[in-house]
Chains A and B, each alone.
Chain A
Amino acid sequence: MLYREAGDFKTTYAADSQTFPIKFDRWRYWAVLAIAWLVIPFFINDYWANAILVPFLIYAIAAIGLNILTGYCGQVSLGTGGFMAVGAYSVYKLMTSFPDVSILIHVVLAGFITAAVGTAFGLPSLRIKGFYLAVATLAAQFFLVWLFNKVPWFYNYSASGQISAPERFVGSIAVTGAETAPWAQYMICLFFVTLCAVLARNLTRGSLGRQWMAIRDMDIAAEIIGVDPLKAKLTAFAVSSFFIGIAGALFFAVYLGAVEVGEAFGIQKSFLVLFMCIIGGLGSIFGSFAGAAFLVLLPVALKVLGVDVLGWPSSTVAHLQLVAVGGLIMFFLIKEPHGLAQLWRVAKEKLRMWPFPY
């Protein structure tokens, strides 16, 4: 009954190639956007912003970025944490060096700086593949963290080596710093998420996305039919790092407000974002959102259930959480390698014929 194509006639080429070809999908999409933009900001409080929605939105951007590289172009990367650090430190240096320029411009510029760094670290991908590339990106992760710890210029010579975001405004509304209202934090992240998701969705549908997927599916065949591997791989690294850089910038400036590189952008962050892609679904924008939501919500949900409802000791719940995440990753790798996005696709197929399946 839902998600039916019947009766939804496409009379122009534009209508035929739109993002959501099914009418119900379009309605759902606009409904989600309307709730996110017009309803949630009026109800959000500190806890929901800081513990759930802001980290979810930021991790969603990072997961989209990694999904472009790993899910669409097939290049495994373990350098996500390092690239997020580049975004964070770029936006910090820009914020403190040019305090009069809008933070929105700084965040986008931080994305471009990260794109440049990502492209440089993407060069080895032209020679090496698979596990070996993963090791090369792992080197990027460790090198970047070491660099931001070692060179005091990056943290403006502060005694503790921490960077902390000064207060910045969009119009007259504070979006960074301690006085930021929860809805302002949420709105700036939502703005960038919407921008990034629309951009990513359209890039992956276009010729660039098809080149990436061709490289992913079989690089030699892609080269024979005329896909330039140099261009395809490096653009994937650049676009992916651009998104990850924006995520890192928001993570530091809007979400945490103060970070130290080893703790906030260590190897665990790279794995966390990779798990989001795997659990959410490789090669799917929706999967990036689903994976981010899942891994942000799971610990909070487990904590609320275990500590507040069942009254278990907090340490037991923390240990259980590790077990649950590990178990789920194994479960998804074995049972559903395409992740939550595939479950969603199957559900859509079922709903199409519901309530009269044949």
Chain B
Amino acid sequence: MNMKTFATAALAGLLASGPALAELVLPDLSYRTGPYAANGTPFSDGYQDYLNLLNARDGGIGGEMIRIDECETAYNTEKGVECYEATKGDNSLIYQPLSTGITYQLIPKATADSIPMHTMGYGRTSAAAGETFPWVFNYPATYWDAASVAVNYLLSENGDDLSGKTIALIYHNSAYGKEPIRTLEALSEKHGFKLTQLPVDPPGQEQKSQWLQIRRERPDYVIMWGWGVQNQVAIQEAANVGYPMDQFIGNWWAGAEPDVLPAGMAADGYKSLNMNRIQDYPVLDEIRTQVIDAGNGAGDGSNVGQVLYVRGMYAAMLAAEAIAKAQELAGTSTVTPAQVRDGMEALEITNARMTELGMEGIGPEFSVSCQNHSGSGEGLVQQWNATDKVWVPLTDFIAPDKDVIDPLIAEDAAAYAAENGITPGCL
């Protein structure tokens, strides 16, 4: 009997039988309530719908059906820990908490329990150093890659010269928002721009003073590290103080439909990074016909094709590919979390494979290795067209400045290894 059914039996006075074991269990620590629900819901819908598509179309992965264990965290670390403890006993294969706070919480726990985590473009950047963090993966890109991609984009806009410019960073005052500061400081030294930091206390409904400061100082660019309701408020406030939208760039968690729609036409021209290209993929039609129309959709189907939906689907695709790789390496279809970790470390995503899956060009090509858990780190810049209500990709995938990021990752990983008595090495 697993732990959750044990709790069920104890608390409800009911005897529940254990689940069938020959299933691939993927927990989905989602949040559909609270100030981050607008962003958490489409991501979770995309994640679940793609896995349900695999069940409906291919009969799961490698002949094994997938079971999704959804658990509501409300973006709260305590509930995240509770969800992790409640689901880990079910032979859960990969954890994707979609929260940097919960990630920090789970890194030591998942490492102790030997369960891999995939924190796609969030979480702890230095987990890219796979020898120190063998159980944590953050491919295809990290926060520090995002910071560097944003600066590289601005460099290309300004003829490779940012000296004398000012860039303001408006950020979620939490572990998430503070992540890029170290890289941006290093980049500001390298390229000679001035960095202003404007923290916004979570959840971020109140940003008047930060935007008054922006109105007073008129920075050349504003970069935002926001999430949830903070994004909507920031874009509205930027419009209120008349800050030009095309000089306002969000990171890839601050550039989705729920963020820009409330501001209406005022949000037109707002830019953001993205790790996925938004276009009409054949796989979305398959999801519409085989999952949504069949009544198995996680949501009502209204957000199919939106930025965060596509990203959730992309996360599910990477998880499914890693499990397939693990099945191939282990020579068995009923893989364990440890075998899935090996599959993740041997993962290679090529353009040919993405085309085959019906999502051509959805992300950069990358491969994972024991030394590098973060992939290529590339991202693109997209712009919001408020008339047609679509995100338009402005650039192709831009490479980050690895010369700046790699030493920073090595330094942070070494500090973590020393603090926690870890001897770096491949498993």
Contact = CB atoms under 8 A, between A and B. Distances in A.
20 contacts: A45-B6, A46-B85, A46-B88, A50-B82, A159-B179, A159-B181, A160-B175, A161-B174, A161-B178, A166-B419, A166-B420, A167-B421, A179-B112, A258-B104, A260-B104, A260-B174, A263-B101, A304-B12, A305-B11, A315-B72
Contacts of A305: 11-12
B30 A314 contact: yes
A79 to B, nearest CB: 17
Contact of A309 (B12, B41, B70, B85): B12
A308 interface: yes
Given A160-B124, A160-B175, A263-B101, A167 B420 contact: yes
Contacts of B181: 159
Given A47-B3, A161-B174, A256-B78, A309 B14 contact: yes
Contacts of A48: 3, 7
A21 interface: no
A48 B412 CA distance: 34
Contacts of A159: 178-179, 181-182, 412
The 6 tightest CB contacts between A and B, nearest first, are A178-B108, A315-B32, A160-B175, A314-B72, A47-B3, A178-B112
Interface string B65-91: 000001110101111011001101100
Interface of A: 45-48, 50-52, 55, 149, 159-162, 164, 166-167, 177-179, 256-260, 262-264, 297, 299-301, 303-305, 307-309, 313-315, 317-319, 322
A34 B287 CA distance: 57
Contacts of A51: 7, 81-82, 85-86
Contacts of A301: 11-12
B3 A45 contact: yes
Contacts, number: 127
Interface in B166-200: 173-175, 178-179, 181-182, 199
A6 to B, nearest CB: 36
B60 interface: no
A47 B175 contact: no
Nearest to B41: A315
A52 to B, nearest CB: 8
Interface string B147-176: 000000000000000000000000001110
B77 A47 contact: no
Contacts of B104: 160, 162, 164, 258, 260
Contacts of B421: 167
A308 B12 CA distance: 10
Contacts of B32: 313-315, 318
A298 to B, nearest CB: 11
B175 A304 contact: no
Contacts of A317: 72
Contacts of A46: 3, 85, 88-89
A304 B11 contact: yes
A88 to B, nearest CB: 13
Contact of A263 (B85, B89, B111, B202): B202
A304 B179 contact: no
Contacts of B71: 307, 314
Nearest to B179: A160
A309 B77 CA distance: 24
B174 A315 contact: no
B105 interface: yes
Given A45-B3, A318-B72, A162 B81 contact: no
Interface in B8-48: 8, 11-12, 14, 16, 30, 32-33, 37, 41
B285 interface: no
B208 interface: no
B288 interface: no
A306 to B, nearest CB: 10
Nearest to A297: B11
A308 B179 CA distance: 36
Given A304-B11, A305-B12, A315-B32, A256 B81 contact: yes
B7 A160 contact: no
A309 B82 CA distance: 18
B33 A318 contact: yes
A304 B7 contact: yes
Given A164-B108, A166-B419, A258-B105, 6 more contacts: A46-B88, A160-B178, A178-B112, A300-B7, A301-B12, A322-B33
A256 B107 CA distance: 12
